[in-house]
Amino acid sequence: MVQQIPFEDRPPTLIEAYVDSDWAGCRRSRKSTSGGILHFGGVAVKAWSSNQNVIALSSGEAEYYAALKGASAALGFQSMLRDLGMQGTITLYTDSSAARGIIHRAGLGKLRHLETGYLWLQSAVKAKKLQVRKVLGTENPADLMTKHLACADMWKHLSKLRMAPEEGRSNAVPRI
């Protein structure tokens, strides 16, 4: 069950996107999984876990694709907030130094095989549409979407998302 916590007196303005990937996690296709969580006002508003469309040739490339998906989701959420008359700034968190290196450089660098259409994130960061920051791998709640975790780690990440287990049946479920 999700513990509901109301927003404070003033509306939040920070959109946080936590992203992660598992490189070549599918044993059959060798595709990686992207996972992420969007926070707004410290509350999880969206989470995802999905196979990447391309086969990444390195863990840094897989993490970059996860960052693309997280940035895209955050920018879409920011657009929705604007439609509602609210403002929000975006901070993207990744535990991958390699992905941050790709994001902060200009152009392909040594990644000649990367499609140039995937480089829009570099332009978005340069235009200050979002910031990219490092999060420790042990503190990244997006691990919930990409890895098998020990119970203690799982509960640590869930508490960061302001989620807590509850017993009993939800009042929203019809009784027979």
Reported as half-sphere exposure (CB side, CA atoms, 13 A), residue 143 has a value of 21
> What is the residue extent of each domain of the chain?
14-160
* Position 134 confidence tier, pLDDT thresholds 50, 70, 90: very high
- Residue 64 vs residues 32, 36, 48, 61, 119: alpha-carbon distances, Å: 11, 12, 16, 5, 10
Tokens representing residue 164 in the block: 């807590």
Distance CA 133, CA 4 (A): 27
Whether the per-residue pLDDT at 6 is higher than 60: the answer is no
Q: Quick one: pLDDT at residue 176?
A: 74
| pLDDT tens readout for residues 38-88 | 999 878 899 999 988 888 878 888 999 999 999 999 999 999 999 999 999
Superfamily of domain 14-160: Ribonuclease H-like superfamily/Ribonuclease H (3.30.420.10)
- Percentage with pLDDT > 90 across the chain: 40
Whether the per-residue pLDDT at 112 is higher than 70: the answer is no
